A and B are shown apart, each in its own frame.
Chain A
Amino acid sequence: MKAIFFLISLSTLILFFTSCKKNKQNILVSHIVAEPDDMHPTNGASATRAEIQLYTHMSLLRLDYKTGNLLPCLAKSLPLVSTDGLSYTYELKEEAVWDDKTPVTGKDIAFTTKASKCLLTNNQAVKSYWDNIKEITLDEKNPKKFTVIMKRPYILNTWFWTDFPIIEEACYDTKKTLSNYTYSQLIDSTFLKTKQDITLWANEFNSPKRYTDPAFISGAGPYKIIKWDKGVSLILEKKKDHWTESCHENWYCQANPDKIIFKLNSNNASTLLELKNNLIDISTQVDFSTFLELSKDENFTKNYVTKLANTYNYTYVCMNMKPDGQTHKKIFTDVVVRRAMAMLTPYDQLNKTIYENNVKRMVGPVSPSKAEFNTDLKLIEYNLEKASQLLTQAGWADTDNDGILDKIIDGEKVKLEFDINFMNTQKQWEDIAKQLAESMQKAKIFARLNPLDYSGFVNACLQHNFDMSIGAWQGSAQPEDFSQLWSTTSWNNNGLNFPGFGNAQADALIDSMNVCVNEPKRILLSKQFQKLVYDEQPYIFMFAQMRRVIVNKKWDNLEVYSEYPGVLLNTLKLK
């Protein structure tokens, strides 16, 4: 027994010594809730990866987070556009070089585009983003100059470069295989079958080391990945004498912390404790309730800044407007029922219990902070009586007196009961679903909770295999392209138009908006479109999401933006 006692006291002693060490290095610890699936520059899709690549990679153009406009990054300036709006000529910065001091040239840009679009590379998720590119031609005299030819005019023809990390040809294609082929050859599947060397290159490009091994991941950004401890952390280190050291005016050139550590913690409770223990410097992803709890804690706010920031993101409850009637009953085909559902949503109660009255309601798919937001639309308020009236008007009545409304649809008695789908990863959605279900019960509607894993949830939505589904969309400062979420083709192709919204008028509006270069005119069209969505009520638009920013006060120069990721880590300075 004595030995044990001795052991315990010894270990406590050691413990005190080790925990006394204070951290005053120029190291920024940033909290992430989900690890990136991989760090491949072009073959990946996770959001965390995109955030990390802001610092490790460079793009042709970047977003100016302050103004919401485009900012030239590797490019000298914004492109020269031809009069037909189809060819864009770029010139790269003279000083832009790779890690081996070779200049960034048009060849690298061409290579990146080819690699992303080549049918053999493993990036199904993003290929369609560059669909509009027709060809890239290099300037023979000036290696820093090139022209991109697009298939059709489109409002986002320059914007897509902002999240398109440029990679080095010499590093990812040592044999320069792709330079022998043109862009259009690489997207021709029959041509590819005949060329063995492209397959060889693609196999190397798709190999696991390119996804995870820091030694094989490189970009032109001021930071590089030095260590990735899976499931624990990912560490970035500032590159020595990087070409951006001379320029400091733009955010993407800055590199203030020596190291940035992305620390994974997907558990709310232990994140809260880590923050309280000063172990994390910055977090923008904590749970809302954790944030509120921390911001009320005076001990905590002595050391930390807690701030809520606007975003373009919003939560919604989506209703299946075009169910097959077989696996899912035709409950929400009627716009009156959908409107009644919107009136049965206890917005104020949700805002109070989940967000403590810190979020604002959404009227439609466009964030109120944007110029194209339609101010004429009125918020739909919670109203049990009105909703019941609407339901009666739509023919729903409790004929069998079992406490659930019913109606004869297609000769069959259908009860007003359905599943609410939501993702099992976030408590917030579970809470919304619970409260929705409780509120529906008061109007004699029976809603079941159906938590699903990520892929199950997404597949159910894509294949229209749901009744009601809770989700959130991430928005951006870019001009709105409604085609993904609201066009009928997107429903037909099992795209992101989950509810099956759409009619001829809406489709025509979307099409004309997407090619409209005249901004005031486009805004007018956009407002019209928002009215259409409002009248059809495919979603119950819930709340504009707020970004929960928590930053340790030892870091200076904090600016919070609406755009993801909210805070640019490389611009933070140690006090």
Chain B
Amino acid sequence: MNSITTYLSITKTGHKNRALRIALKTLFIFIVIALLAPLLANDRPLVCKHKNTWMFPAFSLNNNHIISSSEIINYNMGKEWKLISLDFVLFPPCAYSPTSIDAENAPGKSPFDEQFITYKNESTHSLPLKFRHWLGTTQNGNDVLSNMVYGARIAICIGIFSMLIASVIGICLGASAGFFQNDQLKTGPVSLILNGLALFMIWFYGMYVRSEAWVNSLNSGGLLLIINIIATLLISIITLMLFHKLGKWIEQKTGLRQNIRFPLDTVISRIIEVLNSIPALLLIIAVSAIAKPSYTLLIIIIGFLSWTSIARLARAEFLKAKQLDYVTSCRAIGMSHFKIMQKQILPNVLPVLLVQIVFGMGSAVLAEASLSFIGIGVPLNSASWGNLLNEGRDHFSSWWLVVFPGLCIFVLIFAYNTIAKQLGKTSAAIEMKEIEKE
């Protein structure tokens, strides 16, 4: 881990590298906005006081507040919040939720148009500044700023989580391909057979018998899917390890120690080649058209499709590192393969991999935005920059629906790309040509 901390400290101080500093700051702002989205843009007030009860509607997960048996405040009353009289009220900076509809300022008010509000006594006034739609409204009367704030959340989540999946898969596979190559991974016949059996069992009991549960969780798309995947993965890994150990034990007892070389590198390289050759955007579209669209699914699909570039890089780096002195000496003292890979090589090559991962985050954001722009494979009723752009494309006079989200997408991707590029420069370990060759 040593090298990572020094690496980070370089980037942190990074006094020479202004571009990197700015890009990191931009990204940080986006992340803060994403995290605080519900507090920055919400119909519900942050704090309000009604009949001597203090309420914190924006922080509450409930939908109701029971004041007395006869009076229940419905937190989901949308625009009503701005019309009812409260003793004290403090709204978020943008006083609209992304889905709430302000019919009075629809369809499509520009940021500079006059905006109105009609109070309970039926008098119409110009909209007070604290309720103003700063970036205009959509055709339906949704607040654009609010949608942008929540859109940041989706963009950041997509980038980070899909790349989390991609880097776990990519590093594991790439590292083992580079480290073991075609001749280093040796197993006995018994454990080979037992491993095969374990894989079959994982498929049969984990996937096939449970197909109903899989379909259900796929369609629900949310937490259920994640839990299902993680649980299955855990059980699978445990089963594999158990069978592997069992195989080893039998081999020891029976003395069947003929070693079979497993061509790991070739297999993984072929998988990468095949996956690389499939047009990613089309495949995402085709897969997400089969299941019900959800962001969880989208993250998983993007993650499962974009690990190849990380794996290729990891393979090359591990291949290089393997021949270095410190690895050879580790081997000499009898360190296990896994430990060498995890404790010795990985920390050293991680900075290089990080470049690729950050680049990948940018492309994941782009992929999501493209999908929502053509309106396929993403949930409809969600605030995403691509969705806004899609609507803006249908209403040419509503320039604010195109310009703001478009700029946001650009800035975020540019920030990611700049970070990646500058990281690459800083670590100075990456040469484009070599990656291309490997």
Contacts and interface: CB of A to CB of B under 8 A. Distances in A.
B63 A434 contact: no
Main SS at interface, chain A: helix
Contacts of A354: 107, 139
Contacts of A348: 103
Contact of B394 (A346, A356, A427): A427
Contacts of B118: none
A348 B101 CA distance: 13
Contact of A438 (B74, B78, B395): B78
Interface residues of A, number: 33
Contact of A431 (B62, B64, B76, B140): B140
Given A272-B396, A289-B139, A353 B99 contact: no
Contacts of B32: none
Contacts of B375: 424
B76 A434 contact: no
B106 A353 contact: yes
Contacts of B75: 403
B387 to A, nearest CB: 11
Contact of A442 (B64, B76, B106, B395): B76
B393 interface: yes
B6 to A, nearest CB: 44
Counting chain B residues whose Cβ lies within 8 A of the other chain, the interface size class is 20 to 34
A442 B83 CA distance: 15
A293 interface: yes
A293 B397 contact: yes
Given A268-B394, A273-B396, A449-B381, A444 B103 contact: no
A346 B106 CA distance: 14
B100 interface: yes
Contacts of B396: 269, 272-273, 293
B86 interface: no
B174 interface: no
Nearest to B97: A438
Contact of A437 (B77, B107, B381, B394): B381
Contacts of A352: 103, 106-107
Contacts of A269: 393-394, 396
A244 interface: no
A438 B77 contact: no
A494 interface: no
A420 to B, nearest CB: 10
A435 interface: yes
B106 A430 contact: no
A425 to B, nearest CB: 10
Nearest to B391: A427
B287 interface: no
B136 interface: no
Contacts of B256: none
A441 interface: yes
B107 to A, nearest CB: 5
Interface in B118-166: 139-141
A439 B337 CA distance: 61
Nearest to B137: A353
B380 interface: yes
A349 B394 contact: no
A196 interface: no
B380 A435 contact: no
Interface string A259-292: 0000000001100110000000000000101100
A402 interface: yes
A153 interface: no
Interface in B40-84: 62-64, 66, 74-78, 80
Nearest to B139: A289
Contact of A403 (B64, B101, B395): B64
A289 B107 contact: yes
Interface string A341-370: 000001011001110100000000000000
A299 to B, nearest CB: 12
B394 A444 contact: no
A353 B140 contact: yes
B401 to A, nearest CB: 11
A451 B380 contact: yes
Contacts of A180: none
A299 B106 CA distance: 24
B103 A353 contact: yes
B78 A442 contact: yes
A359 to B, nearest CB: 14
A441 B141 CA distance: 17
B380 A403 contact: no
Contacts of B381: 434, 437, 449
A239 B124 CA distance: 61
A435 B101 contact: yes
Contacts of A435: 101, 140
Contacts of A401: 62, 64, 66
A398 interface: yes
Contacts of B395: 289-290, 293
Nearest to B398: A293
Interface string A395-420: 00010011110000000000000000
Contact of A444 (B63, B78, B99, B379): B63
A214 B380 CA distance: 41
A398 B63 CA distance: 11
Contacts of A398: 64
A399 to B, nearest CB: 12
Nearest to A447: B381
Given A398-B64, A401-B64, A451-B380, A438 B101 contact: yes
Given A430-B380, A441-B76, A449-B381, A403 B62 contact: yes
Contacts of A402: 62-63
A387 to B, nearest CB: 14
B115 to A, nearest CB: 14
Interface string B399-412: 00000000000000
A465 to B, nearest CB: 14
Contact of A349 (B64, B103, B397): B103
Contacts of B74: 403, 442, 444
Contact of B380 (A272, A438, A442, A449): A449
A451 B397 CA distance: 27
A417 B100 CA distance: 19
Contacts of B394: 268-269, 287, 289-290, 427
A368 to B, nearest CB: 25
Contact of A353 (B64, B100, B139, B380): B139
A354 B106 CA distance: 9
Contacts of A449: 379-381
A172 to B, nearest CB: 39
21 contacts: A268-B394, A269-B394, A272-B396, A289-B107, A289-B394, A349-B103, A352-B103, A353-B106, A353-B107, A353-B140, A353-B141, A403-B63, A403-B76, A427-B394, A431-B139, A434-B99, A434-B140, A438-B78, A441-B76, A449-B379, A449-B380
**Which 4 A-B residue pairs are closest in the complex by CB-CB distance?**
A403-B63, A349-B103, A353-B106, A268-B394
Given A398-B64, A437-B381, A438-B100, 4 more contacts: A293-B397, A353-B106, A434-B101, A435-B101
Interface of B: 62-64, 66, 74-78, 80, 99-101, 103, 106-107, 139-141, 375, 379-381, 391, 393-397
Interface of A: 268-269, 272-273, 287, 289-290, 293, 346, 348-349, 352-354, 356, 398, 401-404, 424, 427, 430-431, 434-435, 437-438, 441-442, 444, 449, 451
